[in-house]
Every structure is written in C-alpha cells, then in structure tokens.
Amino acid sequence: MLFPKGSRANTHACEAKGCMWATEPRLPMCANHWLRVPSRIQADVWNAYRAMPQRTPTRDELMSDLGYVSAVADAIEHLAAADGRDPSNRYRLAADQIAEARAGELVVA
Ligand SMILES: [Zn+2]
C-alpha cells in the first residue's frame, strides 16, 4: 500500500530515492527495491540489524548504529547509481556523523 511518508506509525517510506512505498520497520526498502540490492549489501544490512542489542530496534536505534546506516547507505547508493539518481541520503550523513563522533572520542580517550 502507498502512504505519504510518516502517515503510519508502524511503517516508513521505502528508503530508495523517489520511492514512497510503505515499508515495515525491520526492512529499509520495499520488496521491489530490496530485491535489486546486491546480496552482499543485503547481508551487510541483515548482519548489522541482527547485531543490534535490541530484539526489535526502533528506527531511531537503527539510525544510531554505524554498521546499519553504512550498509543501508550502500544499498541506497547502489540503486541511485543504477537509476541515475542523486546518491545523497540521510543514512550516509548519519554514518559520517557517527564516525566523526567516534573519532572525537578516540582523541579524548
Ligand atoms: Zn521502494
């Protein structure tokens, strides 16, 4: 079913560029897009998801996990390149911010 972004608490819009399909929380993308992601990147996303300490992590918890956001960013960028779309995405921004924060912690420690 197609919903505007954020209209349903238990779904989110597919993260592929330009796609608005309502997607269940444990998946980053609708089935159509997810099936176009290379299996290596799919495995990275799933492994990061399963490594989360929470059994069913919220979107906020997922967005603060470097492994997860990096893997989803790879998936979004793969599809954007295949479709000739702008590859910029909030997952890559989040990954960069988490990595920067960690680098800062290492300097302080
Ligand atoms: Zn989609």
Interval 29-78: pLDDT, tens:
999 999 999 999 999 999 999 999 988 888 889 999 999 999 999 999 99
Percent of the chain with pLDDT over 70: 89
Q: How confident is the model at residue 80 (pLDDT cuts 50, 70, 90)?
A: very high
Task: Report CA(86)–ligand 1 centroid distance (Å).
Answer: 15
In contact, 15 and 36? CB cutoff 8 Å = no
- The confidence score (pLDDT) of residue 52 equals 92
Task: Report CA(35)–ligand 1 centroid distance (Å).
Answer: 10
- The confidence score (pLDDT) of residue 39 equals 98
Once rounded to an integer, what is the mean pLDDT over residues 10-27? 90
Residues 6+ apart with CB under 8 A from 80: 16, 17, 86, 87, 89
Statement: residue 1 has pLDDT above 50: no
Statement: residue 26 has pLDDT above 60: yes
Domain ranges of the chain: 29-108
- The confidence score (pLDDT) of residue 7 equals 46
Q: pTM here?
A: 0.85
Percent of the chain with pLDDT over 90: 71
Task: Report CA(21)–ligand 1 centroid distance (Å).
Answer: 6
Task: Report CA(94)–ligand 1 centroid distance (Å).
Answer: 20
Q: For the purposes of burial, counting CB atoms within 10 Å of the CB of 21, is it exposed (0-12), middle (13-18) or buried (19 or more)? A: middle
